[in-house]
Amino acid sequence: MASESSFDIVNKVDRQEVDNAVNQAAKEISQRFDFKNVEAGIKWSGEAIDLQASTEERVNAVLDVFKDKLVKRQISLKGLQADDPKLSGKIYKINATIDAGITQENAKKLSKLIRDEGPKGVKAQIQGEELRVSSKSRDDLQAVQALIKGQELDFAVQFVNYR
């Protein structure tokens, strides 16, 4: 009797890589000529990231620099949630967060996709913010991974714990 193989579908963000991206963006902002005298900056504020500058265009440029640094560190922009610029005194601010974990709604969508379009005999089980996919055939699991990679999802996914 063949044992079942499985893997987990997760949405994990490496906090250290995000921290590195914030620090790199802050360094670039402090050195770039177009950010001189506009009070531009980026920093952590609890679990969120605060971006600020003296004009709306400059704060959007700070956001673009931050996005560029995230991409270079292989962090998906699908998880980045940034507010619209808000005027706070004389400074425009953007509050940004990076989502991690798969919501119940998204896990149900993935599970339904696997049931409807995936190979027969593949089971998908929601476990908190993860989705466990199991099957007797490793080839079926690889087919499920290819199916999910081919979808246009509005959240990032990684495949871990392949056994």
pLDDT tens column, 102-160:
999 999 999 999 999 988 989 999 998 999 999 999 999 999 999 999 998 888 899 99
Are the C-beta atoms of 25 and 73 separated by less than 8 Å?
Answer: no
Q: What is the phi/psi pair of residue 39, to 5°? A: 50, 40
How far is it, in rounded angstroms, from Cα 87 to Cα 82? Answer: 15
Model confidence, pTM: 0.84
Coil/strand/helix, residue 89: coil
> For residue range 95-113, what is the model confidence (pLDDT) as tens digits?
999 998 899 999 999 999 9
Q: Give me 25's structure tokens.
A: 């963006």
